[in-house]
Amino acid sequence: MARAMPVLEQLCRRIEHVGELGAGATMKLAVNLPLLVYWQALGEALTICKPLNLPADRLIDILSDTAGTPTAMKGRGASIAKVLGGQPMGETAFAVSAAKKDLATAVQFGQSIHATLPVTASALACFEEAEAAGLGDADATAVPVHWTRKNNKGANS
């Protein structure tokens, strides 16, 4: 590890040794999991806000300024609002298909240690649906947009 430190210090904001070979992969899943679940929860939050008829940028701004919002919203919130407003999806930082893979791996790992992850399994189903709808290469932030649009089809309010 000492030989890798100069490179790691340039690439990483934080370096933590968390265990033997493979432990880093487990930690990566643990780090990604809450954010991936959040993207689905954001889609559901946006869906229940539909009756408010707020502009997408205002709604995202309000939701971004809460204690329950991850730091990632600071960088991704504006692009989500733009897509909700009808503009095309921007660059992909973490694809839906990669996120789906992480969620599936987390569920499988949970099973291997005799743990159930019901929220993760539910988010996995939603990411699978988004991928099946053709969003596999889109950024994971496409999931809340997909969910919102799916739920707003045919809605009158």
Q: Which residue has the tokens 């946006």?
A: 46
Token duo for residue 25: 């992969």
- pLDDT, tens digit (0-9, with 9 covering 90-100), for 33-57: 999 999 999 999 999 999 999 999 9
pLDDT bracket for residue 129 (50, 70, 90): very high
Cα dihedral 49→54→60→65 (10° resolution): -90
pLDDT over 80 (residue 138): yes
- CB-based contacts of 157: which residues, under 8 Å, 6+ apart? 50, 51
Rounded to an integer, the average pLDDT of 71-80 is: 91
* Local confidence band at 155 (pLDDT 50, 70, 90 cut-offs): low
The span from the CA of 35 to the CA of 40, in Å, is: 9
Res 91 pLDDT > 50: yes
pTM assigned to the model: 0.86
DSSP state of 89: P
**Region 132-152 average pLDDT:** 93
pLDDT at 157: 41
Statement: residue 92 has pLDDT above 50: yes
- Give the Cα separation of 49 and 124 in Å (integer): 23
pLDDT at 125 over 50: yes
Specify whether the backbone of 21 is left (phi greater than 0), alpha (psi in -120 to 50) or beta. beta
pLDDT for residue 154 = 55
| Contacts with 28 (C-beta within 8 Å, 6 or more apart), sequence order | 102
Q: What pLDDT shows up at residue 2? A: 85
